[in-house]
Amino acid sequence: MERVSRYGDWPEHVALGVILIAVAWSRGSKKWMRIFAAMIVACALAGVSARVVKIAAGRARPNVQTETRWKGPQFSERYHAFPSGHTAASTAFFATLVLAGWRIGAGLLIIPMLIAFSRMYVAAHYLSDVVAAAVIGVACAYVVVSWRPLQIQDRKSKIEN
């Protein structure tokens, strides 16, 4: 679980997204290049959103011995429990794939769930931290997928709807 927690952060997701974009480019698939780029953008948006909330909330991590769990704005990593940045970024990354093509992405949602569990296992977050992060991740994925310039959906599905 410690390895999952260590390697489940945004750099690994972005690296995977870049590799997937390269594969899609080599195969000439503009649609998949846009989807993989959207996954990276959603991951970044969720990471930034989670960071802003972390600093503003100032919730102590489970392994911090303190009487006050919520301290308000804090810059110390010891008080950046709420929400989980790992979970937010991973959920946004894979939820974007689910929203773009649920048949392919649905099975991969196990990855952010495993990362969320690992963050609780290593005593970096509470359950509420990872649940809030998952909500942030899904919201960011939805915003990115619905953003008009990306046009992730096929033209056929637009005509049918």
Task: Look up residue 90 and give its two tokens.
Answer: 């991973």
Are 118 and 87 in contact, with CB atoms under 8 Å apart? no
Instruction: Please report the pLDDT score of residue 148 as a whole number.
Output: 62
Instruction: Please report the pLDDT score of residue 102 as a whole number.
Output: 79
Domain residue ranges in the chain: 2-155
Helix segments in the chain, DSSP class H = 2-7, 10-26, 30-57, 85-100, 102-105, 110-121, 127-146, 155-160
Q: What percent of the chain has pLDDT over 70?
A: 83
What is the spatial distance between Cα 114 and Cα 117, in angstroms, rounded to a whole number?
5
Three-state DSSP class for residue 13: helix
Instruction: Please report the pLDDT score of residue 157 as a whole number.
Output: 46
What is the spatial distance between Cα 33 and Cα 17, in angstroms, rounded to a whole number?
9
Residue ranges for the chain with pLDDT beneath 70: 66-76, 78, 148-161
